[in-house]
Amino acid sequence: LMAEKGGFRHFMLKEIFEQPRAVQDTMAGRLLEEEGNVYLEDLGLTDAEMAGFSRICIVACGTSWHAGLVGKFLLEELCRISVEVDIASEFRYRNPVVSSGTLLLAISQSGETADTLAAVREAHGKGAKAIAICNVVDSSIAREADGVVYTHAGLEIGVASTKAFVTQLVAISLFALRFGRATGAISRERGIELTSSLLHLPAFIEEALQLDTAVESIARRYHNSSDFLYLGRGYSYPIALEGALKLKEISYIHAEGYPAGEMKHGPIALIDENMPVVMLVLRDRHYEKVVSNMEEVIARGGRVIALCSAGDSETAQKAEAVLELPSCAEIVAPIILSIPLQLLAYHVSVLKGNDVDQPRNLAKSVTVE
């Protein structure tokens, strides 16, 4: 069994360390560097069709829904198209406003989640096209959609999704690049920049994985806490949600993710000297705002674990614990942030003696309602 796990103690840890390779597989044969474009073999949409959509609706469940939230950020930013993100079980029962000008984007690792499949059928029933981002080839959602972008992450065994999530983010980036080039929202020059940022991704993930020992000691220090708060802004907000979900799923510690700017409207009441607060504070357009949120947490005795950009000594001095991440382009930053959060959840779960790969009450794929 150890051999199956490639020498790792758990499938989850193996899958976390496989990520440089997994993202390479997602991109393999797809990046057209000189044209600043992407080739997606099974997309099933012409450039003219893409230019005809006025709106994109992303639907998914669980971790895939978090990938969808990052997708909204990327698609709106790069393609200037309005994007809604919905939980599939909400979308399917709401009589959503969908027409032929709407493109449905269904995200599902397994391609078998009942609610997400029903959302595809709902969209089809209303005359919309549906594209799927799936990991499992020939799965139900992949087959029913009009086109598919496979993530090619390989088999994911750990119930808590890691490499499937990260490759979903890559697949969405590829889709956004292709879409924006087709509609004219992304120029060739910008496309070249974006493809080159994506090509650097595996090396950045390798670098982030080197934080493993540092993350383990943070896990030792905080694993007895009964609640965690995760805060981020912009594309870091869905990563905060995903970090909290990962911890919940495998450590059984109550964890909440929140947009940092919304903290003062509720979660701030929870902060005291027992509350670890994971703050995603990269040097991006939100930096100053997140730093001031961090100061508010510290002023209330909160114990800040900061994920910041390499060399950010200001943040490093203020926080109780720090993890420095390589500086990278915005399009790949959500991925780099995800790595230490996966490792944190993993090590806390191991310290608690939990079944990391098969957490209680959870299923890898929810094929019934």
At 328, is the secondary structure helix, strand, or coil? coil
Binding mask 158-197 for ligand G6P (x = CB under 6 A): -x-x------------------------------------
**Rg from Cα positions in the chain:** 20
In the list 110, 173, 195, 236, the residue contacting ligand G6P (rule: CB under 6 A) is 110
End-to-end CA distance of the chain: 33
Nearer to ligand G6P, 136 or 176 (CB): 136
Integer Cα distance of 171 and 152 in angstroms? 9
Piece of the chain touching ligand G6P by CB under 6 A; list 4-12, 14-22, 106-114, 145-153: 106-114
Q: Is residue 36 within the footprint of ligand G6P (CB under 6 A)?
A: no
Integer Cα distance of 191 and 197 in angstroms? 10
Integer Cα distance of 282 and 288 in angstroms? 10
Residues 6+ apart with CB under 8 A from 14: 5, 6, 8
Q: Is residue 116 within the footprint of ligand G6P (CB under 6 A)?
A: yes
Residues 6+ apart with CB under 8 A from 34: 192
Binding mask 266-305 for ligand G6P (x = CB under 6 A): ----------------------------------------
Binding mask 39-68 for ligand G6P (x = CB under 6 A): ----------------------xxxx----
Residues 315-344 that bind ligand G6P (CB under 6 A): none
Chain centroid offset of residue 182 CA: 25
Nearer to ligand G6P, 104 or 194 (CB): 104
The residue ranges that bind ligand G6P (CB under 6 A) are: 61-64, 108-110, 113, 116, 159, 161, 362-366
